Structures are given as C-alpha cells and as structure tokens.
Amino acid sequence: MDIMDGGRFTAIEPIHKGWSGDKKYRVTEKDGTISLLRISPQSRYEARKSLFAMLKLVAEMGIPMCLPLEFGTCKDGAYSIQSWIDGEDLEPILSRLPKTEQYALGVKSGKVLRKMHTIPAPEKQENWAALFNRKTDTKIRKYKECGLRFNGDTYALDYIEQNRYLLENRPRCFQHGDYHVGNMMLENGELKIIDFDRYDFGDPWEEFNCIVWSAAASSVFASGQLHGYFDGEPPTEFFKLLAFYIAGNTLSSVYWAIPFGQSEIDTMVKQSQDVLGWYDDMKTPVPAWYQNCST
C-alpha cells in the first residue's frame, strides 16, 4: 500500500520551500502527530538511505533537529518521515530579536556545530589539500568561463593563489554542508537545525564558508557563532583559512546563479561586493562584521 494513499494520514499539506527537488509534505497521523514527509526520486534511493542513517547518528548526539523516524520506498520513490518542528524560520526574524538574544543564539549554533564536528570522517579519505586544490581549480576555471565578472575579482583570485598552503594538514570530520541562518529555526525560543541534504566530510573550518549569509542577517549572531564554536576568540589561522574558503565560494556563486535568472545573479554579485568590503579587498583576513560587532 502506498504511503500517500493508504489512509494513514488525516491531512497532507504540500510544502513548497527549498532547493532539493524532493516533494515535501506536512502530514498528520490519525493520532494527531504531525510529521515531515519527504519523497525523493527512486534514483536517489541510496543517497537518501545514507542521509537517513547519518541523520540518526547526528540525532543520537542530542543535536536539536528534525528527528529521523522512518525510511522506506513508495510508488514515487524513496520516502522519509521526520519529526515536525513547530517553529519559525530564523533568518527573517533574527534582526527583530534583541541583540543579546541574537548573540546567544549565535553562541548556541557554534556549540552545536562543534558537537557535530566530533563525528569523524570515514578512514582512507583523500588528502584534503589535494582534494580542495582540485575543487578550487575547477571553481576558478568555471568562473572565468561563465562570462560574468564582478568588480574586484582579482583580489579574490590573488588571495586564493597566495594562500593555498593553508590547506595542508587539515583534519576531516562530518559536515552539515550548508550551515547558516537559512537552515535554522526557532521553536519556543530554542534553536533547531534543519536541512542536512548536503552533508559531507571535510575540514571543520570549511563549514563556516556559509557564514556570509549569517553575517548579512546579523553580525552579532555570526560573531556569537564563532565565539561558541571556539569557546572564545578564534585563532588568526582560522580567519586566514576562512577568507580562502569564502573567496572561492564567492567565485563559484556567480556561475551557480546563472541558471536561476537575473535575480539570483544580482544577489550573488551583491554578495561579492559585501565580501570584498568586509575583507578590505582581501587585505585583512578578519572580516569587518566581526571587528565591528558589539554585544
């Protein structure tokens, strides 16, 4: 019997947010329990099975998140059921919260991330420097071929070339893969982490490459995240390497946006200018939003 047609749910409401391509629903069981149902194409069965297993491992650590409850197949592909978070998306409401609360939530998010990073990467991983240098070469090539350029791109390109050595001897661990305020919620005042679709294993400091979105929403939150993760001030080496990762992401975000239209292109080009402003054209590794943050 198919999961959607068997009378199991008394209510099925489609959800139209997100980039994954999965079909998502808010479903209500006969006993009144509300859950999140996700259905992926059959071709993604193995990937979704691996994701579900990883979610169980992360949830067992006490990470505040949608709890993985059930996985299986249905006529439309592979499905998973997760607990429902009855809260609000954090990004649109963050700036309306008192700065002390923004900071506290940032600290919490940093501590949660540090806990997730205790999950080790599988053995026999490719050398990180070799792997990421190859990824960086691809980003640079695709950026130069895409036909779009942003003002000041040579500053990012030069910083990358001058700092590749920072990739040497970096550790590997579990990564959420897209860790920023857009993938966080607030439920009864408590922070919740969502959307582990892009989980991976890599340098724990690379995980902060999405902090540009958090900093744009609240510099106080972003600074708190670093303080929570490092239990105080981050080391200088962290800022230097993070600037390297963000410079590469700034290049790749431009060509990534092209298939999604002018609005996304404009967003990413604006972000490139924000990044160059924060880093004073890549002359300082500590971003201005962190330096200027007051709590």
Structure tokens at 99: 């700065």
Strands in 88-89's sheet, in edge-to-edge order, are: 88-89, 184-187, 190-193
Residue range 187-200: mean pLDDT, rounded: 96
How far, in Å, CA of 6 to CA of 41, rounded?
20
Q: What per-residue string of b and e applies to 75-100 under the rule 16 or more CB within 10 Å gives b?
A: eebbbbbbebbebebbbeebeebebe
How far, in Å, CA of 178 to CA of 42, rounded?
24
H or E segment to which residue 191 belongs: strand 190-193
Phi-psi region of 86 (alpha: psi -120 to 50; beta: other; left: phi over 0): beta
How far, in Å, CA of 91 to CA of 107, rounded?
16
**pTM for this one?**
0.92
CA R_g for the chain? 20
Question: Does pLDDT of 295 surpass 50?
Answer: no
Confidence of residue 235 (pLDDT cuts 50, 70, 90): very high
Structure tokens at 295: 């709590």
Structure tokens at 116: 């997730």
Residue with tokens 């990564």: 175
> How does pLDDT run across 32-82, given as a tens digit for each residue?
999 999 999 999 999 999 999 999 999 999 999 999 999 999 888 999 999
How far, in Å, CA of 165 to CA of 160, rounded?
10
Helix axis angle, 153-162 relative to 128-145, nearest 10°?
Answer: 160
Confidence of residue 293 (pLDDT cuts 50, 70, 90): low
Residue with tokens 């993070």: 242
Q: Give the contacts of 47 (CB within 8 A, at least 6 positions apart).
A: 40
